[in-house]
């Protein structure tokens, strides 16, 4: 049995909050706001509206027919007076059209429901990705600003030493170049944060075209263990993107069957009322039967059958894509965890310690400026990589969590595999 993940279940059941007035937004709020993005709202409304209107569809596919034939009797001359023939008919399809239509309606509703779920899941994944990217951009910007302050202090020290004759003008030029490079890094990080903030605002449907910031820590999503990957891989047909293609293929097949039934055997039963001159009244029964001897709707059914076969292929392709994506997600969680451990425990602290030590040695005259600059650059790169790999690991876990939760929710639904 697939595990339940109550965090997202509660989040989806809760009423989405209004767009925040501030420029900062938490991870949970970002996911909640995706329920109000235009594509999700539109898909959900379309599904509900069709289901509402479908309930009003009659079980009888044909309406009664009324024919009125007024006339005038000319002969014999002594019976010249108006006459009237009234014919009432009710057509009945004998080839199962009503049953075929109900099945088509149910599958078409399934298509729209799957589209709504696919839109919701896609929006949550996009918003989660955007929020985590903003979080990483914020911390990389902080790191570059810190390094820019260190570079400014280093330039000040070298400038003072050059004035006292302890260092050359070439040393000063290198210090200034390093400081300028640090300022360029800050500007690039600011631009990256602005762009990622705009993307986050777009993904959560913010009405203001202004960037949003990430508020709070990275999400610690309860991703399933890699040992359960085979179990989840067998459930990938429950993902909305795969289920939608399956419903579309089956709906195309149902429409083909409905079209065949429409062109099937048709019976018309009714009565004829005739006023016959001079004072006669005749009531007759009427029965007509149309047999599908020649026209069976092959022209229309051919396209529907072709759509069914094409969509079945697309469904299989979507299933393959979902399985490979899930396998990649399981691997990415483990891979980023290993990278994070190396960067967090070894590379980042060692490079930072080396840079600080090299700077103290330089202040005491025991190291060259070039050695200091190289150590600082290595430390900045390592620190930035650490922030980014933290974000990548959180994203890998979050994506896997979202996919696994959707599968678990659909597996618990009684109509999931219908």
CATH numbers and ranges of domains, the chain: 6-61+110-250+315-412 (1.20.1600.10)
The pLDDT of residue 414 is: 59
**Which pLDDT band, with edges at 50, 70 and 90, does 415 fall under?**
low
Closest CA to 62 of 293, 267, 296: 267
Tokens of 2: 């697939």
Mean pLDDT of the chain: 88
Whether residue 13 is predicted with pLDDT greater than 70 in this model: the reply is no
Mean pLDDT of 88-107: 93
Q: What is the pLDDT of residue 88?
A: 95
**Confidence at residue 26, expressed as pLDDT on a 0 to 100 scale:** 93
Q: Say if residue 4's pLDDT is above 50.
A: no
Q: CB count, 10 Å around CB of 153?
A: 13
Asked if residue 132 has pLDDT above 60, the reply is: yes
User: Does residue 91 surpass a pLDDT of 70?
Assistant: yes
Condensed to tens digits (0 to 9), the pLDDT of residues 290-318 reads 999 888 888 999 999 999 999 999 999 99
Tens digit of each residue's pLDDT (9 = 90 or more) over 44-87: 999 999 999 999 998 888 999 999 998 888 877 777 788 889 99
Quote the pLDDT of residue 259: 92
Model confidence over 227-276: pLDDT tens digits?
888 989 999 999 999 999 999 999 999 999 999 999 999 999 999 999 87
Average pLDDT of 327-352?
93
Question: How large is the average pLDDT for residues 144-164?
Answer: 87
Residue 10 pLDDT: 33
């Amino acid at each position: 049995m697939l595990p339940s993940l109550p965090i997202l279940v509660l989040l989806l059941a809760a009423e989405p909050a209004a767009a925040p007035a501030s420029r900062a937004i938490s991870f949970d709020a970002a996911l909640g706001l995706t329920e109000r993005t235009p594509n999700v709202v539109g898909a959900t409304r379309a599904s509900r509206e069709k289901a509402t209107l479908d309930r009003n569809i009659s079980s009888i596919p044909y309406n009664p027919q009324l024919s009125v034939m007024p006339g005038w009797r000319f002969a014999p001359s002594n019976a010249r007076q108006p006459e009237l023939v009234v014919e009432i008919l009710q057509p009945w399809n004998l080839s199962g059209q009503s049953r075929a239509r109900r099945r088509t309606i149910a599958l078409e509703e399934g298509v729209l429901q799957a589209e709504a779920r696919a839109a919701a899941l896609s929006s949550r994944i996009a918003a989660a990705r955007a929020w985590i990217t903003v979080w990483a951009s914020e911390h990389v910007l902080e790191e570059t600003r810190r390094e820019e302050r260190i570079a400014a202090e280093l330039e000040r020290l070298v400038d003072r030493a050059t004035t006292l004759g302890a260092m050359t003008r070439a040393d000063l030029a290198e210090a200034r170049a390093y400081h300028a490079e640090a300022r360029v890094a800050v500007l690039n990080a600011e631009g990256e944060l602005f762009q990622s903030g705009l993307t986050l605002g777009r993904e959560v449907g913010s009405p203001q075209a202004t960037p949003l910031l990430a508020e709070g820590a990275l999400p610690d999503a309860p991703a399933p263990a890699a040992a359960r990957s085979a179990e989840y891989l067998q459930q990938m047909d429950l993902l909305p993107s795969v289920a939608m293609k399956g419903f579309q293929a089956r709906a195309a097949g149902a429409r083909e069957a409905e079209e065949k039934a429409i062109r099937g055997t048709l019976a018309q039963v009714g009565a004829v009322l005739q006023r016959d001159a001079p004072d006669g009244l005749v009531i007759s029964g009427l029965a007509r039967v149309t047999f599908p001897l020649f026209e069976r709707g092959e022209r229309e059914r051919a396209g529907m059958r072709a759509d069914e076969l094409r969509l079945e292929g697309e469904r299989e392709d979507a299933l393959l894509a979902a399985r490979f994506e899930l396998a990649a997600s399981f691997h990415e969680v483990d891979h980023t965890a290993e990278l994070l451990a190396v960067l967090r425990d070894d590379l980042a602290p060692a490079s930072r310690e080396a840079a600080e030590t090299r700077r103290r040695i330089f202040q005491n005259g025991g190291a060259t400026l070039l050695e200091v600059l190289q150590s600082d650059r290595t430390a900045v790169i390592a620190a930035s990589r650490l922030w980014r790999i933290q974000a990548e690991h959180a994203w890998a876990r979050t994506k896997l969590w979202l996919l696994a939760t959707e599968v678990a929710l659909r597996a618990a639904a009684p109509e999931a595999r219908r």
